[in-house]
A = this chain, B = another copy of it.
Amino acid sequence: MEEKAPMTMKDIAREFGISVATVSRALKDSPRISEERRRAIQQFAREHNFYPNAIGEALRHSRVMPQRVIGVIVPEFTHYYFSSILTGIEEAAAARGYRIMVALSGEQYEREAQICDNFHRFKVCGVIVSQAKDTKNYDHYQKLIDAGVPIVFYDRICTGVNASRVVVDDYMGAMNAVNYLIESGCKRIAFYGGPLQLEISKNRFNGYKDALLSHGMQIDESIVQVCDNRAEAEELTPKLMAMDNPPDGYFAVNDDTAIGVLYTVKHAGFKVPEEVQICGFTNGQRAVACDPMLTTVEQRGHRVGEEAATILMDKVEGLSPLDKVEKHVVKTRLVVRGTTK
């Protein structure tokens, strides 16, 4: 595993008898080069440890320059959405010659602040983070920004600092889902969401509200509930189903909660989807394990991760100004399965 002399694009061009521009296009996967040729050039580059960008090459031969290591903070690895985002980040980073250092906040502010400090001391080139649920103080982020370390938020963005972010279109995702429930015949749709002070909950609630209003339906506060996990759903749902006028549709803010609704109403003797229709939000592994399978809003975590990493690397490489705040919104997609008609 010795370090060989670095290979340049010129060397590759010479090897194949083509221009440097063609090599560059092939390495960027440009459709202007035939797939076969792209593959051959990429494979050759890999086999000769060619680094796909100039920075990567410079870095490889430097031990002192700031490292191309991205610090990534994840609230929970075992949460399907977060692990799909991490996959997107890793793949986008690796493709541009970056490495990722990963740390777990465990949803704790204290741990998150410690990690930011630790990453900064390690001289990461930037940080990608989804804020812990209990974070209310943002100094640890501000310190990084002040030190010129770019931050990109994903999923749970921080409104306390002015930084780039990638989120999904929670509003449209919720609106489309609730529109679908209404068009499938639901007359009375319950909303189970997170606390409304969270940006994400507010947006999903607004999508729900606007779907109802646009169909001339009223908001009934008694079936709009703060409820975002299965245990809560199993406790709350029997109360709603015992109403004189129980809901015939449920829109839940994640799959776990939706599955809590599903089994509670099924075991109480209601038919799904004939009598009660249910829609979740995530589209993780649970969504196809339940019976019937869950209609849900696909959050496209992989894409969120890719975009977050790309924004960050563009800032690190000076392709986008450090002080320009990028706000990307990834489109969701409604996946219709067995819990709706």
Residues of A bordering B, CB below 8 Å: 1, 3, 46, 49, 60, 69, 76-78, 80, 83-84, 86-87, 90-91, 94, 99-104, 106, 110, 114, 117-118, 120-122, 143-144, 147, 259, 263, 266, 284-286, 289-291
Return A260 CB to nearest CB of chain B, in Å. 10
Question: Other CB < 8 Å A-B pairs besides A77-B84, A78-B83, A87-B104, 13 of them?
Answer: A1-B143, A1-B144, A49-B117, A77-B83, A83-B83, A86-B102, A90-B104, A91-B104, A99-B103, A100-B103, A259-B289, A289-B289, A291-B291
Return A329 CB to nearest CB of chain B, in Å. 23
Query: In the bound complex, what is the Cα–Cα distance between A291 and B80 (angstroms)?
Result: 20
Return A299 CB to nearest CB of chain B, in Å. 13
Would you call A101 and B103 a contact (CB within 8 A)?
Answer: no
> Which residue of chain B has its CB nearest to the CB of A305?
B77
> Which residue of chain B has its CB nearest to the CB of A90?
B104
| In the complex, chain B residues whose CB is within 8 Å of the CB of A3 | 121
- The A contact surface, by secondary structure, is helix
| In the complex, chain B residues whose CB is within 8 Å of the CB of A286 | 285-286, 289
| In the complex, chain B residues whose CB is within 8 Å of the CB of A94 | 103-104
| In the complex, chain B residues whose CB is within 8 Å of the CB of A1 | 117, 120-121, 143-144, 147
Return A337 CB to nearest CB of chain B, in Å. 13
Q: List, sorted by A's number, 7 A–B pairs whose CB atoms are closer than 8 Å.
A: A60-B121, A77-B86, A78-B83, A87-B104, A90-B104, A94-B104, A285-B286
| In the complex, chain B residues whose CB is within 8 Å of the CB of A86 | 77, 102
Query: In the bound complex, what is the Cα–Cα distance between A60 and B69 (angstroms)?
Result: 17
| In the complex, chain B residues whose CB is within 8 Å of the CB of A106 | 91
Return A236 CB to nearest CB of chain B, in Å. 18
| In the complex, chain B residues whose CB is within 8 Å of the CB of A49 | 117
Query: In the bound complex, what is the Cα–Cα distance between A286 and B192 (angstroms)?
Result: 22
Return A262 CB to nearest CB of chain B, in Å. 8
| In the complex, chain B residues whose CB is within 8 Å of the CB of A117 | 1, 49
Return A156 CB to nearest CB of chain B, in Å. 18
From the candidates B80, B284, B291, name the one contacting A263 in the complex (CB within 8 A).
B291
Return A114 CB to nearest CB of chain B, in Å. 7
Query: In the bound complex, what is the Cα–Cα distance between A42 and B290 (angstroms)?
Result: 42
Return A80 CB to nearest CB of chain B, in Å. 6
Query: In the bound complex, what is the Cα–Cα distance between A291 and B338 (angstroms)?
Result: 14
Would you call A118 and B99 a contact (CB within 8 A)?
Answer: yes
Interface core residue of A49, A101, A102, A117 (most chain B CB under 10 Å): A102
Would you call B77 and A90 a contact (CB within 8 A)?
Answer: yes
